[in-house]
């Protein structure tokens, strides 16, 4: 038995490449705006998490270039040792203010933020209660912890109370972890109900706001602002690779908690820190979001247009209420066929199949930016209507 045997038996991806319908790892030859260049031709991008459309903003680019010129291309070490720059601290102070918390801590990726914070906080005598549809980084975070993991049915608060009751008499640390916006279905977690149960049963609340930051709330402050619960969400996590036009992640909360994570999160202590250009890009993006609230208004205008457009055409968009709008196709092969037809017609979108979604519920995960034009969105709806009818999806 050779450990590499499984690699030789995995042929599905190679076969899809040969047959011309493999949708993943497609190289893009331009910046990630509303239009991108793939295989030398221009396409409309509706598969990006660039919600604010800031990745190519001149101020963001200029800030990144200036920081690279001043500090160099990397930090050559972890935050714990030689990899903390003054701009890391500046960013953390700005982030804490932005989400209304005492302190924040930056990680090199959003994945590492969840990995480090959750595994550091949940000890062997603790219990973590998790929504079954939470992001993979949350899953890996609690897998690395030594605590007990209790799952509850997705968005089922009766089931959450059931499992909390089962452990009500245990005098141990407890924490509920949920996405603020679920990344595949595009729904907003109902944080008030989670908080109510958390307080009733003595648990803390940790919210992954990767897809909520910059999107929810009038000023883009995420779940805390959207639900107006600054003191009830104990820890908020966010990423920089979406609305904030860069790469990295953070957690924010009470200063004493952040200090503990800072000294116990292995993905922080043993990983190189965010490069200066990435840090400066986030600071610039935050300044734009705070000074241009019309971007958020435009994002939600585009979201409403596409949600109503898809629904009126007869597509199944689930219960989406954010700029993430899934188009439920069903079987994997049908989803890939739909994706290929859209790709051939100049539309870049992401197909998602199990285990990312439930069996027989393959989707085309569409997502929108504040910078999409009406003409671009009209063309997308036109192509979806044409191809959806051809394939019998509508």
User: CB–CB of 36/348 below 8 Å?
Assistant: yes
Contact 243, 60 (CB under 8 A): no
- The H-or-E segment that residue 128 falls in is strand 127-131
CA 56 from centroid of its chain's CA atoms: 19
- The bridge status of strand 148-152 relative to strand 127-131 is parallel
User: In what side-by-side order are the strands of the sheet with 174-179?
Assistant: 103-107, 249-253, 235-239, 204-208, 174-179, 127-131, 148-152
Give exposure, 265-284, as e/b (b: 16+ Cβ within 10 Å).
bebbeebebbbbbbbbbbbb
HSE of 307, CA atoms in CB hemisphere, 13 A: 17
What DSSP element (H or E) covers 366?
A: strand 362-367
Question: What distance in Å separates the CA atoms of residue 73 and residue 282, rounded to the nearest whole number?
Answer: 16
Q: Where are the alpha helices (DSSP H) in 42-171?
A: 58-71, 86-99, 110-121, 136-144, 157-166
CB-CB contact of 46 with 348 (8 Å): yes
Which residues carry out catalysis? Answer: 183, 211, 242
Torsional sign, CA 47, 185, 237, 220: positive
């Amino acid at each position: 038995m050779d450990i590499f045997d499984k690699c030789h038996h995995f042929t599905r991806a190679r076969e899809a490449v040969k047959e011309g319908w493999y949708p993943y790892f497609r190289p893009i030859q331009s910046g990630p705006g509303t239009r991108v260049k793939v295989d030398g031709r221009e396409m409309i991008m509706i598969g990006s998490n660039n919600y604010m459309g800031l990745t190519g903003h001149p101020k963001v680019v200029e800030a990144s270039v200036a920081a690279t010129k001043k500090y160099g291309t990397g930090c050559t070490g972890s935050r714990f040792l030689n990899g903390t720059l003054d701009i890391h601290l500046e960013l953390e102070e700005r982030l804490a203010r932005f989400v209304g918390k005492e302190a924040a801590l930056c990680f090199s990726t959003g994945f590492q933020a969840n990995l480090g914070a959750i595994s550091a906080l949940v000890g062997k005598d603790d219990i973590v209660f998790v929504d079954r549809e939470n992001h993979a980084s949350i899953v890996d975070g609690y897998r690395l912890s030594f605590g007990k993991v209790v799952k509850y049915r997705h968005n089922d608060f009766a089931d959450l109370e059931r499992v909390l009751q089962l452990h009500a008499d245990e005098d141990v640390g407890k924490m509920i972890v949920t996405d603020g916006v679920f990344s595949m279905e595009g729904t907003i977690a109902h944080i008030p109900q989670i908080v109510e149960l958390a307080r009733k049963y003595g648990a803390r609340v940790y919210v992954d706001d990767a897809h909520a930051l910059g999107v929810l709330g009038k000023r883009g402050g995420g779940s805390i602002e959207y639900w107006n619960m600054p003191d009830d969400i104990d820890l908020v996590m966010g990423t920089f690779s979406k609305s904030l036009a860069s790469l990295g992640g953070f957690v924010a909360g009470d200063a004493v908690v952040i200090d503990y994570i800072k000294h116990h999160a292995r993905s922080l202590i043993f990983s190189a820190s965010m490069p200066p250009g990435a840090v400066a890009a986030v600071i610039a993006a935050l300044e734009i979001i705070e000074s241009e609230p019309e971007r958020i208004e435009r994002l939600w205008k585009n979201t409403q247009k596409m949600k109503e457009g898809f629904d009126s055409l007869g597509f199944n968009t689930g219960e989406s209420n954010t700029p993430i709008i899934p188009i439920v196709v069903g079987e994997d092969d049908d989803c890939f066929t739909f994706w290929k037809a859209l790709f051939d017609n100049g539309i870049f979108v992401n197909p998602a199949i199990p285990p990312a979604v439930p069996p027989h519920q393959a989707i085309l995960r569409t997502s929108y930016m504040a910078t999409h034009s009406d003409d671009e969105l009209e063309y997308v709806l036109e192509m979806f209507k044409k191809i959806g009818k051809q394939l019998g999806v509508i």
